[in-house]
């Protein structure tokens, strides 16, 4: 069912989106401020995927770049809408709605800026079901909708259109080159598609899930209940039904570099008990990719690896990690449509150069059951 979102919802949405950012995705705070400024006391219509007309024309909008740059290079604000308008002009067709390509991090907010500026509704779905570092890592692409033509807008009004046919990796490669030359961040419109395509290829209801997660954490804190139980309760009603505490400890080391347009590195978390030698090591490329507990893989992409404050469950991005922070690390299962062989080729371990195979965070048995349900065509509509 479609619903409306107001400025009051934004802090909860930002918190949930940061959790789904799995360490990356860019801090939604700046995006939230931009939405608030444009939206005022109006509201944004959020369309449920089930309500979309088959021929509704949807143009997703987003920001691309290294999260480490995004927090320092504030957009002027007009860029995402300029990207949308540039793509509309190129296609000779106006959008009926926009949509996130990525529900985690700042890209939960970019389509809302466009909606606030243009009055367009926003589809409650995305193409990553979390955050990923590259534009080709989309369920859209996995299931046959391609990113090209893509439009880029820069803060000085620069406009670029890239068309690589159905080669989404080449699209990412060229667009990243432009983003780097625009200073490390760019705003884009891509993966234009019909309402029918959204239903077939998108991860559904991820805006509402982010909002529900952020709200559940806040309300649990206010009511002095466990925010971790609240996260588990909320997820149990979604396609992301399993959550597991991977580790509790303190940040011992963060090695991070911004290279080739990405933030890459490793975080090491030690047990809070000084007599213990237990440690969790997390490698990231913008987002957390793999968690090794004393060397053994306990979670791996595309499943979510989320570092949160050990008491408040406030999610912590990679660029927010500091030595000595007390944290919990959560592993969250992803929907079955994000774990098919085609999906794993696009954004599973090998897509990041990892040699470790994908292992579901909830264990093989539970995952097999979920996959059976997906194969029967049910889980995507849960």
Site string for a copy of itself, 43-82 (x = CB under 8 A): ----------------------------------------
| Residue closer to a copy of itself, measured from CB, 15 or 176 | 176
- Contact track, a copy of itself, 234-263, x by CB under 8 A: ------------------------------
Contact 158, 172 (CB under 8 A): no
State in angstroms the smallest separation of the CB of 78 from a copy of itself. Answer: 14
Cα–Cα distance for residue pair 71/118, rounded to 1 Å: 25
- When binding is defined by CB under 8 A, the residue of 161, 252, 354, 379 that contacts a copy of itself is 161
Dist CA 142 CA 346 (whole Å) = 7
Q: Which is nearer to a copy of itself, 174 or 346 (CB)?
A: 174
Query: Is residue 180 close enough to count as binding a copy of itself by CB under 8 A?
Result: yes
Stretch that binds a copy of itself, among 19-27, 131-139, 180-188, 343-351 (CB under 8 A): 180-188
Name which of residues 77 to 96 contact a copy of itself (CB under 8 A): 90
**Interacting stretch for a copy of itself, rule CB under 8 A, among 175-183, 193-201, 301-309, 332-340?**
175-183
Should residue 279 be labelled a site residue for a copy of itself when binding is judged by CB under 8 A?
A: no
Spatial distance between the Cα atoms of 271 and 281, rounded to a whole number of angstroms: 11
CB of 153 vs a copy of itself, minimal distance in Å: 10
- What CA–CA distances, in Å, run from 200 to 50, 128, 325? 11, 14, 42
Measured CA to CA in angstroms, residue 137 lies from 11, 127, 239, 279, 287 at distances of 27, 8, 19, 30, 12
Nearest to 105 by CA among 64, 138, 72: 64
- Using CB under 8 A, which of 81, 136, 164, 234 touches a copy of itself? 164
CA distance 176 to 19: 25
* Nearest by Cα to 288 from 256, 311, 240: 256
Which burial class, exposed, middle or buried, applies to 165 when counting CB atoms under 10 A from its CB (0-12, 13-18, 19+)?
exposed
CB of 182 to a copy of itself, least distance (A): 8
Region near a copy of itself per CB under 8 A, out of 25-33, 124-132, 179-187, 312-320: 179-187
Selected range binding a copy of itself among 4-12, 118-126, 173-181, 293-301, rule: CB under 8 A: 173-181
Q: Of 90, 41, 49, which is closest to residue 337 (Cα–Cα)?
A: 49
CB-nearer residue toward a copy of itself: 130 or 176: 176
- Out of 17, 160, 210, 313, the only residue in the binding site for a copy of itself (CB under 8 A) is 160
Q: Which stretch binds a copy of itself (CB under 8 A): 14-22, 165-173, 191-199, 336-344?
A: 165-173
Would you mind telling me the total number of residues written for the chain in this entry? 382
359 binds a copy of itself (CB under 8 A): no
Of the listed pieces 35-43, 170-178, 228-236, 314-322, which binds a copy of itself according to CB under 8 A?
Answer: 170-178
Give the DSSP letter string of 275-318: T---EEEEEEESEEEEEEETTEEEEETTSEEEEEETTT--B--G
Nearer to a copy of itself, 63 or 108 (CB): 63
Tokens of 348: 């599973």
As a whole number of angstroms, the distance between CA 152 and CA 162 comes to 8
**Contact residues for a copy of itself, defined by CB under 8 A:** 90, 156-165, 167, 170, 173-174, 176-178, 180-182
């Amino acid at each position: 069912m479609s619903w409306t979102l107001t400025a009051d919802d934004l802090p909860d949405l930002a918190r949930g989106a940061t959790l789904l950012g799995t360490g990356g995705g860019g801090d939604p705070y700046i995006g939230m401020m931009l939405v608030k400024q444009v939206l005022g006391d109006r509201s944004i219509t959020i369309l449920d995927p089930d309500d979309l007309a088959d021929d509704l024309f949807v143009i997703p909008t987003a920001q691309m770049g290294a999260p480490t740059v995004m927090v320092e290079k504030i957009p002027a604000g007009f860029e995402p809408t300029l990207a949308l308008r540039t793509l509309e002009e190129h296609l000779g067709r106006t959008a009926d709605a926009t949509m996130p390509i990525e529900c985690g991090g700042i890209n939960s907010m970019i389509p809302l800026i466009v909606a606030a500026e243009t009055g367009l509704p926003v589809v409650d779905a995305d193409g990553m079901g979390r955050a990923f570092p590259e534009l080709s890592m989309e369920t859209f692409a996995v299931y046959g909708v391609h990113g090209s033509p893509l439009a880029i807008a820069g803060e000085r009004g620069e406009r670029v259109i890239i068309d690589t046919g159905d080669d989404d990796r080449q699209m990412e490669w060229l667009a990243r080159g432009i983003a780097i030359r625009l200073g490390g961040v760019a705003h884009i419109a891509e993966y234009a598609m019909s309402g029918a395509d959204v239903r077939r290829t998108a991860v559904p209801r991820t805006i509402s899930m982010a909002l529900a997660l952020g709200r559940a954490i806040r309300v649990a804190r206010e009511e002095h209940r466990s925010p971790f139980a609240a996260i588990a309760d909320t997820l149990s009603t979604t396609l992301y039904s399993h959550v597991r505490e991977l580790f509790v400890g303190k940040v011992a080391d963060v090695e991070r570099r911004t290279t080739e347009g990405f933030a890459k590195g490793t975080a090491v978390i030690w047990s809070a008990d000084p007599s213990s030698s237990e440690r969790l090591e997390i490698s990231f490329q913008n987002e957390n990719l793999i968690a090794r507990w004393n060397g053994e893989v306990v979670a791996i992409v595309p499943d979510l690896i989320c570092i949160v404050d050990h008491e408040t469950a406030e999610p912590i991005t990679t660029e927010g990690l500091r030595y000595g922070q007390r944290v919990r690390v959560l592993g969250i299962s992803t929907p079955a449509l994000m774990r098919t062989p085609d999906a794993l080729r696009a954004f599973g371990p090998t897509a990041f150069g990892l040699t470790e195979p994908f292992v579901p965070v909830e264990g093989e048995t539970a995952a097999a059951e979920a996959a059976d349900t997906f194969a029967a065509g049910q889980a995507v509509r849960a």
